[in-house]
Structure 1
Amino acid sequence: MSITVDIWTDINCPFCYLGKGRFEQALSQFPARDDVTVVHRSFELDPTLSVDASGSVEEHIAQKYGISVEEAQANERNVAAQATELGLAYRTSGRDFGSSFDMHRLLHFALTVGKQAELLDSLYAGNFADDQTLFGDHERLVTVAVRAGLDETDVRAVLDDPDAHAEDVRRDEQEAASIGVTGVPFFVFGGKYAVSGAQPTEIFTRALQLVSEEQLTTLDAQSAQVCGPDGCAVPGTQD
């Protein structure tokens, strides 16, 4: 039995990074993992940003939630602690945020050449782990894409053509809206079971089991951290 898992994410979203790690833990333990096809779908947290926009994550969080920059920095440390539990690197200071539209266009191109998963990993590393900032820098994006195994000439061709794969991004976002997605990460298993947020690994394990068994059972998933148009849930400001 072939199982497709559609995952709506955004590179800006730290909980997408965590959710991917927890989902992959579940998938690695799933007996029929070789029958699972994962498709990463586009969701921009802020589609109004210009493609060259960028800014400080800590200042953005502080302004959005009405907290101090120091509290925002503590929030970043809390997310980093969750990432560490998954074996994921997370830089706790100096990160930026900005438009992810070109990144989503590149992800759709990467899908056509069988490199989508590799590019997503490279983009996440570029945002959450690398010392350099990622957003608003055309050449930096080229470097991150080539690191994933994409051809530099192809990458530049996509980035230089604003229409390349733009409709693919918009189509994903329209589908997300049509099924009621308001925050990411958002997982759909086999077109039957929806899981919202960076859930515990066992929730993803249960979803894989359910769709494999083709049981028409409602998945009882606890609430989890998500990012949406109004921002990312702040998991706390304690150190």
Structure 2
Amino acid sequence: MRVEIWSDIACPWCYVGKARFEKALAAFPHRDEVEVVHRSFELDPGRAKDDIQPVITMLTRKYGMSEAQAEAGEDNLGAQAAAEGLPYRTRGRDHGSTFDMHRLLHFARERGRQTELLDLLYRANFAEERSVYDDERLVELAAAAGLDADAARRVLADPEAYADGVRADEREAAQLGATGVPFFVLDRAYGVSGAQPAEVFARALDQAWGERPRLKPVDGGSGAADGQDTRDGGDAGEVCGPDGCAVPQH
């Protein structure tokens, strides 16, 4: 089963939601058969790379709230993160364009290090003092995730490297009806919007797993009617299973 998660590194609920989903996944009996793919979504698309400002300032300007309201919101998010065991700096963080981070995540996915880089980006953005909106900082994080630093630097230096992948993810999110993140899609059959409690993710995993498509056997031509499901008594060919292989009796 595949779970696709649309998220943005600048989104605190994505940070919290990822932890809640992973808690549910860790308890899921079939967790080793679940592929998790992280997809790109920018909360502030088109923002200039050099347009960086404090989070509190961004909140007051973008959403028209007072500074006190913005600080109260950050305090609440800090408490939500702490409940999931996540560090969270409620003051002093920056906000800017995440497009380059998403490009790096596509590069990391190609090399099998996407989850490692995403975790480092989240922690750097939400818990560490040094701003993540800096190319050399991103190179350091890429290297810490197991990627080649020079290759990561070349990706950042080329604004079109992996850009098509980011844009394709965002178009797909729109086609699926996602208007915010985090947005979880299970086997392209179920969608879960927002940083839901772990219990909600657990139910979604169970439901999606239980309703996966099942193969309908095709009649081998030895007695079953056309279209008959031979699992219910129709003829079936010889098979090999956990207990060995069927041995011909004649």
TM-score category of the 2 structures, normalised to the smaller one: 0.7 to 0.9
Cα distance in structure 2, aligned partners of 1:32 and 1:159:
37
Cα distance in structure 2, aligned partners of 1:69 and 1:102:
29
Q: How many residues align?
A: 213
Q: 1:125 aligns with which of 123, 126, 134?
A: 123
Q: Larger relative contact order (C-alpha < 8 A, sep ≥ 6)?
A: 1
| Equivalent AA in structure 2 for residue 23 of structure 1 | F
1:144 — aligned with what?
A: 141
Cα distance in structure 1, aligned partners of 2:48 and 2:97:
6
User: With structure 1 as the length reference, what TM-score do the two structures score?
Assistant: 0.86
Q: 1:185 aligns with which of 170, 182, 185?
A: 182
Alignment gaps of 5+ in structure 1: 217-239
User: With structure 2 as the length reference, what TM-score do the two structures score?
Assistant: 0.83
1:56 — aligned with what?
A: 54
2:109 — aligned with what?
A: 111
Shift of 1:157: 1.3
1:99 — aligned with what?
A: 97
Q: 1:155 aligns with which of 152, 155, 180?
A: 152
Shift of 1:39: 0.4
1:219 — aligned with what?
A: none
Secondary structure of the structure 2 residue equivalent to 1:191: coil
Shift of 1:36: 0.6
The equivalences for 1:165-204 within 5 A come to 165-204=162-201
Cα distance in structure 2, aligned partners of 1:194 and 1:33:
18
Cα distance in structure 2, aligned partners of 1:50 and 1:130:
23
2:24 — aligned with what?
A: 26
1:209 — aligned with what?
A: 206
Superposed CA RMSD = 1.2
Cα distance in structure 2, aligned partners of 1:47 and 1:129:
23
Secondary structure of the structure 2 residue equivalent to 1:204: helix
1:47 — aligned with what?
A: 45
1:10 — aligned with what?
A: 8
Cα distance in structure 2, aligned partners of 1:64 and 1:159:
27
Percentage of identical aligned residues: 56
Secondary structure of the structure 2 residue equivalent to 1:140: helix
Q: 1:94-125: CA deviations, max 9, x gaps?
A: 00111111100000010011100000001001
**Shift >4 Å, 4+ stretches:** none
Shift of 1:182: 0.6
Q: 1:138-163: CA deviations, max 9, x gaps?
A: 11111122222211011011111111
The equivalences for 1:73-92 within 5 A come to 73-92=71-90
Shift of 1:75: 1.1
Secondary structure of the structure 2 residue equivalent to 1:39: strand
| Equivalent AA in structure 2 for residue 61 of structure 1 | L
Return the index of the structure with the highest Cα Rg.
Answer: 2
| Equivalent AA in structure 1 for residue 191 of structure 2 | A
Secondary structure of the structure 2 residue equivalent to 1:183: coil
Shift of 1:215: 6.6
Alignment gaps of 5+ in structure 2: 214-250
